[in-house]
Amino acid sequence: FHGFSVEFAEHRPYNPGDDFKHIDWKVYAKKERFYVKQYEEETNLRSYVMLDTSSSMLYKHFAEWSKLRYSIHFAASLMYMMHRQRDASGLIPFNSKIDAFIPAKSTYSHLRQIYTELERELIREDNGDQERRKTASADAIHEVAERLHHRSLVIIITDLFENAGEHDELISALKHLRHRKHEVILFNVLEKKSERDLDFPDRRFVFEDMEMGDEVEVLPAQVREDYQQKVEEYTKKFQMACSEFEIDFEQMDTQSAFDKSLLAYLTKRRRLG
């Protein structure tokens, strides 16, 4: 999990206890302040955040934020914490394909690059982008498992909305990550009141598939019990698979603060040293 190179990355202000041999005296001569050279070997942990950016993540009904906006703020908070701990972080936004692959580094300039990519997704939502982005989580995860050549912590943030018949493929992809010796946390983000409980007023609603565009008109009260049962079965399937593969599984509700989810990450971080 730990840093693997001694390549110079950037300067940072000197802190008491830093090794004097890393002070850059040329910079001191110019600025009359102590700065030390920071190397990639100072990285404590290497982490990647895989962020689902498919169209279903744009959903919101009761919550103030969409699942995507909520997840972006959560990811930004995670990566800031990583940076403060001198952990290297990388970002991999994906939908039907991987949109970007930002390698894990621990420098402040790199963190800004990641934030720029996250901001790009927020702007897309603010502009009301109508492009239908489908989900192919399994393909993206398989690709990441092959591309990461150093053992890492992979954090996946997704609503787990997959096409019918692809659930087993996603579980197989998660197993692939573990087979490659990566640690994994799966954050399942959803608006629980509507997406889990189907807690809508007692009148007819038209529900639209945000990725395919298909529509269905139903009276929520008539299908609620059956719907909740299927959601519970689906969730338990992933919980059991994650337990079998020693993957941490956490659900996030977009109507709740993500403090609990940040704590789940910190707990995992402590276990990894």
Instruction: Please give the pLDDT value at position 27.
Output: 76
Q: Kindly report the pTM of this predicted structure.
A: 0.83
Instruction: Please give the pLDDT value at position 118.
Output: 97
| pLDDT means over runs of 10, the chain (273 residues) | 46 74 76 71 79 95 95 95 90 95 93 96 86 89 95 96 82 97 96 96 90 89 95 94 95 90 83 74
β-pair partners for 93: 51
Instruction: Please give the pLDDT value at position 35.
Output: 78
Q: How far apart are CA 50 and CA 70, in angstroms?
A: 14
Q: How far apart are CA 4 and CA 89, in angstroms?
A: 14
Q: Which of 145, 132, 97 is nearest to 245 (CA)?
A: 145
**pLDDT tens-digit series, residues 21-73:** 777 777 777 777 777 776 554 557 899 999 999 999 999 999 999 999 999 99
Give the chain's radius of gyration (CA, Å): 21
Q: Which of 142, 47, 128 is nearest to 94 (CA)?
A: 142
Domains along the sequence of the chain with CATH: 8-40 (no CATH), 43-272 (3.40.50.410)
CA dihedral 229, 234, 235, 239 (to 10 degrees): 130
